[in-house]
Chains A and B, each alone.
Chain A
Amino acid sequence: MRADRRHFLRLTSVASLAIGGGIALVRGGGYSLPPGVTLAELAPWQWVVFDAVGARILAPERADVGSFADAYVAGLAPRDRDDLMGLLAYVEHLAPLAAGFGPRFSQLGPEQQDRVLEAIERHPIGLLRAGFQALKALALMAHYRRDSSFSALGYGGPVVKWSPR
């Protein structure tokens, strides 16, 4: 399916937030951050969803995907950031409903979350499949950027020992 990505994701985002907002009103319950987490760019609910998605993408490994995403989105152009947040709202609110689950994504169990993510990964709408790839890439980047992830792969990592000046 071809579509203008921005228009599509905006619509998806608005719909997701509206429906999600309704669900949140009915069920109550907000989003709380673990102690010590401070956010520069994301809202708490966005951090929670990034973290929940990341946990399933990387399982059984773990990485602080929420905080990595908080830093990553700071460098994005406004249009790209809007797209990403629209997608996140879709994952949290609409995708579980489409997969037959009432609670939002971040409140589902691991197996249910995997089913939701699999449905997005193989969704008939190409834009959503691409969106899944974007979330997956972000989580994988959070994990495989760390030297501690290299040894399991047999990968030596950088030869030089410096960072860009």
Chain B
Amino acid sequence: MIELGRRLRTAQRWTADVVIVGTGAGGGMAASQLARRGARVIALEEGPSLSARDMSQREDEMMPLLYQDRGGRCTADLAIRVIGGRTVGGSTVHNINLCKRLAPEILDHWAREHQVSGLSEAELRPVFESVERDLSVSTIDPQRRNANNRVLQRGVEALGWKGGPLMHNRVGCQGSGFCEIGCPYDAKQNAAKVLIPDAVDRGARVVSDVRVTRVLHDGRRARGVVGVALGEGGRPLADVRVDAGAVVLAGSAIGSAALALASHLPDPHARLGRGLRMHPGVAVAGLFDERIEGWRGIPQSYECTELLDLSPGSDRRIWITTAFAHPIGAAIMLPGFGEKHRAWMLRYPQIAVLTAMLHDQTEGSVTLARDGRPRIEYVLSPSDSEQLARGVRACARLLFAAGAREVLVTSLPPITLTRADQIDAIPSSVARPHGMPMAAVHPMGTLRLGDDPRRAVVRSSGEHHQVQGLFVLDGSLFPTSIGGPPQIGIYTLSRHLSRHVAARAGAV
């Protein structure tokens, strides 16, 4: 049973072997693994505890419940919307369940260039296998590929490009297409469904509606955390303190970095919050004669990897897949207003949408704003903007190859193409900040992993270089962009590194 922080009315002081901040892929896995090792675990989640019965399939109701800042979190310059979860289960509750292992090229690069040890592909392979087994990962059945994904497949095949099916962690999927706003059928085999209940069954306490505001430490040793239980509208209800020998930060690359900064952790080499990557992406729409009805079915089941080479120094850093939205999301993406916008919306069922996501080299940062909230600085470098522009052109090429009669680049002003030979005229400037709507769903890298304390915040064990007993087990760890959906990488690193937390906490 998950305890509800919103029911607390008096100050609380609890003790545990390990306190975990965040309950997404990293925190959920850590809670389960540590409870299995016999540690006394308390996991705190800022967001609410929701069940399948709370998922109403309505954008306006679910966005404020599932997403940080009601879905409106942005970079400081407002150029990129940054999506993150805030509910028990974290972003695994609203993600699209794509499952990819960390690529061997990425892990090799981390070992060579970032002094990451013990995380080679060979060492992680059995952990990936365990994670995939526990989360029921499988290839998405081609029979379940919806029309939007068939458009992408058709484009890939017509152009002779590289592409293929994606893998997911769903069981009992009804194909309703509302994954991004929570699954009312409980088909997602995610942290909320698989790991948190397992942790609770093994004695862990999981408490929702508690915002952790500071890690307790003396500069050399972590002692616990303090926070506040939140009521309706974020109203503070009661102070919460957890004394623990080990602290795990697992509140995402944004939240964990902000908490580290707010806690004034030792930072002799000014690394806290630096190195933010986030896979910014843009969408390109194609208008078809037939009905696509992209809102139906599994939203993403096919990918194009023609422009994706994860080798260091590669100039092909674009991952392409589908992106479709329900009416509010689609309406926001489509250009203009009034009659012109309405004309696009009336063609909504005939629109297919592809997204180009950047394997980014740009390094942003998380700092603290004066009100204590995270401030995200991230301005695309010229070479990354150029890559994204290539991605826009590639999406347009795929859509025409699949039979689109019109392609819409949602830049400001919008670009409408009616022939494939117009694609090369799309200027690189479309993908500059504020050139077109951008979203980033994979923040990472703000509390980096590596054995060199001058370059990394935590050791290869996940433990902070200066503060014993303080661990990071979320996407903050990644020293670079990973070029694909991060959940399996986060689950796997958390599972693999939890043994170090257990050892520090005195568990088996």
Contacts and interface: CB of A to CB of B under 8 A. Distances in A.
B133 interface: no
A155 B327 contact: yes
B53 interface: yes
B288 to A, nearest CB: 14
Interface centre among B74, B78, B174 (most CB of A within 10 A): B78
Contacts of A131: 78
B69 A77 contact: yes
Interface class of chain A by DSSP? helix
Nearest to A140: B331
A38 to B, nearest CB: 19
B118 interface: no
B61 interface: yes
Contacts of A6: 369
B56 A164 contact: yes
B59 A145 contact: yes
Interface stretch (B7-15, B255-263, B314-322, B343-351): B343-351
Interface residues of B, number: 53
Contacts of B58: 145, 158, 163
B371 A153 contact: no
A155 B296 CA distance: 10
Given A131-B78, A155-B295, A159-B57, A150 B69 contact: no
B113 interface: no
A117 interface: yes
A68 B346 CA distance: 23
Contacts of A2: 77, 379, 433
Interface in B191-223: none
A160 B373 contact: no
B412 A121 contact: yes
A3 B76 CA distance: 8
B327 A121 contact: no
A154 to B, nearest CB: 4
B470 to A, nearest CB: 28
B289 interface: no
Contact of B60 (A122, A141, A153, A162): A141
Interface stretch (B35-43, B239-247, B332-340, B400-408): B332-340
B231 to A, nearest CB: 13
Contact of A165 (B54, B70, B176, B328): B54
A133 B55 contact: no
Contacts of A154: 291, 293, 348-349
A61 B342 contact: yes
Given A79-B373, A129-B434, A144-B328, A5 B348 contact: no
A164 to B, nearest CB: 4
Interface string B366-379: 00010101000001
Interface string A79-92: 11000000000000
Given A75-B64, A141-B328, A144-B331, 7 more contacts: A77-B373, A80-B69, A121-B412, A126-B79, A130-B74, A134-B72, A155-B348
The 4 closest A-B pairs by CB, nearest first: A126-B434, A130-B78, A158-B57, A145-B60
